[in-house]
Chains A and B, each alone.
Chain A
Amino acid sequence: MGSLLVWVVWVGAAFACLGSGVAVISFTNPFYSALALIGNLGSLAVLYLLASAEFLAAAQVLVYAGAVMVMFLFVIAYLGDAAGVPFGGGPSWVAVGAIVASAAILVEVVVAIGLKAGNSLSNEADVEAAFGSPGEIGRLFLTDHLLAFEITSIVLLIAAVGGVILGTQTRSERELDAQEPTA
């Protein structure tokens, strides 16, 4: 019975994830795209939970669906009408080529995984109940993966400094603003 429930939840989350992924790239209005991406991230968190990555599921909702997407929505609101660029109005062979290229990537990934690991994908390792719990991840971050943890913090610091530098107004932009005070 429990197995059937897991399957039902899994199939629901997988279809929600793929459907909202398609929605992200097909909406013209970036606001709706960002909302669809929140749904995508939420259903991915369900998939993470079913793959017994509990801490990552929580971090996905907190960091992505919470912080990152709020930043996206703020920028979309700040840009207003300028944010919405419709689909490529260029030649349609660009769109056809893009579809062919992404289908080729899909086929390549599936074939590569099937050839390299097709036989061993069904026998999962037995894991204990604490697998993927916050305590276990935290212990690994402070023991085996301490260097990765510290490098991650440096990457985030550099990104924050870069964001501040990109956000500072330069003199030419102030002059541009002075010319159009209404903008």
Chain B
Amino acid sequence: MTPLTPLAALSGPDVAWYLIVAAILFSIGTLGVLVRRSPLIVLLSLEIMLNAANLALISFARLHGGHDGQIFALAVMAVAASEVVVGLGLIVAMSRRRLTLDVDSFRLLKG
């Protein structure tokens, strides 16, 4: 069995292309957070933004040949998972209190 060619040896697009994709993805996520009113979709858009940041971190890690960016991206993944747990917990708590799930209707910092 012949050993697989390491992916790093194949020449693909420059890091700049990765960064352009990451920037577009981040602004798509921003647009979702600003336009949508459903808190669920706002959370999904936040995930898109976090993943865009992860893509940029990984591209810079590849550019510099160090692992620090990848470690940081893993930490971001853990933070994103925690954010989803707390965010979904809040959404379920809102729905149990018979509140409308509309981010525009939450204007006061009291229950």
B40 CB contact (under 8 Å) in A76, A118, A173: A76
Q: How many interface residues does B have (CB within 8 Å)?
A: 82
| Any B CB within 8 A of the CB of A84 | yes
B13 CB contact (under 8 Å) in A7, A40, A127, A141: A7
Assess whether A60 is in contact with B77, with CB atoms less than 8 Å apart: yes
Assess whether A51 is in contact with B102, with CB atoms less than 8 Å apart: no
Assess whether A127 is in contact with B65, with CB atoms less than 8 Å apart: yes
For B66, the chain A residues whose CB sits under 8 A away are 125
Residues of chain A in range 6-64 having any CB-CB distance to chain B below 8 Å: 6-7, 10, 14, 17-18, 21-22, 24-25, 30, 33-34, 37, 40-41, 44, 47-56, 59-60, 63-64
How many pairs of A and B residues are in contact by the CB < 8 Å rule? Answer: 270
- Shortest CB distance B13–A (Å): 5
| Any B CB within 8 A of the CB of A93 | no
- A63 to B81, alpha carbons, bound, how many Å? 8
- A78 to B34, alpha carbons, bound, how many Å? 25
For A50, the chain B residues whose CB sits under 8 A away are 7, 12-13
Assess whether B58 is in contact with A53, with CB atoms less than 8 Å apart: yes
Instruction: Please list the residues of chain B having a beta carbon within 8 angstroms of any beta carbon in chain A.
Output: 5-21, 23-32, 34-38, 40-41, 43-45, 47-48, 51, 54-55, 58-59, 61-68, 70-75, 77-86, 88-93, 95-98, 100-102, 104
A-B contact pairs, 24 of them (CB 8 A): A2-B10, A21-B29, A25-B31, A30-B41, A33-B40, A41-B51, A47-B55, A52-B62, A53-B73, A72-B43, A75-B88, A83-B38, A84-B38, A88-B37, A90-B104, A106-B24, A113-B19, A118-B16, A120-B63, A126-B65, A129-B6, A137-B67, A151-B75, A162-B85
